[in-house]
Structure 1
Amino acid sequence: MEQVDTTVGPALGTDLAALQEKAAEAARLLRLLSNERRLLVLCHLVAEGEMTVGALAQAVDLSQPALSQHLALLREEGLVATRKEAQAVFYRLADPRAARVLALLRDIYCPPEA
């Protein structure tokens, strides 16, 4: 079995009090990212910058009503923001912490081909 490197950063071991204060906030973000469809929505928004509901529904293979429920939750929690242009509503990633977590997930699960 491979040894796990537990050194995730110099501050983690010395600043557990700060982590304890932010644990609920971190858990909330991870809970939002724990749904596969929401995770895919956010990944597409990272890749494309912004997308309409129709384009997102097609990209993640969800009906518009189902996608709208996910987007409403993400919007309420501040992970995405909207911009309206005529009849189209464009969504974009709005939380820099979520962007950092998504980048880390990409690095772990989708590393560039060596």
Structure 2
Amino acid sequence: MPDTGKPDLRKMRESAGQATAMLRSLANRDRLLLLCQLSQGELNVSELEKQLDIHQPSLSQQLGVLRREGLVATRREGKHIYYRVAAPQALCLLQTLYHLYCAESSNVD
């Protein structure tokens, strides 16, 4: 089928659903903080708890949501489970959010 320049509405709806799910996951403060921290590298639960001051059971609950959504992946080493960002789309959004809200030059008067 030739490209008529019109967007594929079915594909747009599917993509909109994926984007909505991602944004819903990022819309929680604790989940956003967890993803921001994990974007810097892999960490275990104890390290996340100490660095972010998010305590159990909330920490485990939010990590569970991120795992179900496919945004983080885990690796076991002995007794510790290490978390990392698994979705490249999430990393891209986190970088954009960092530049908009956290970078030194983002101060808008």
TM-score by length of 2: 0.83
> What is the CA RMSD across the aligned residues, in angstroms?
1.7
Alpha-carbon contact 1:54-1:64 (below 8 Å) kept = no
Separation of aligned partners in 1, 2:43 and 2:56: 13
Long gaps (5+) in structure 2:
1-5
* Map of 1:76 onto structure 2: 68
Post-superposition shift, 1:107? 1.0
Post-superposition shift, 1:16? 7.1
Match of 1:92, SS state, is strand
Measured against aligned partners, the alpha-carbon deviations of 1:43-73 in whole angstroms (never above 9, x if no partner) come to 00012x1001011112221112210000011
* Map of 2:35 onto structure 1: 42
Taking only the aligned residue pairs, the percentage that are identical comes to 43
Q: How many residues align?
A: 100
* 1:67 and 2:55 correspond: no
* 1:23 and 2:27 correspond: no
TM-score by length of 1: 0.80
* Map of 1:4 onto structure 2: none
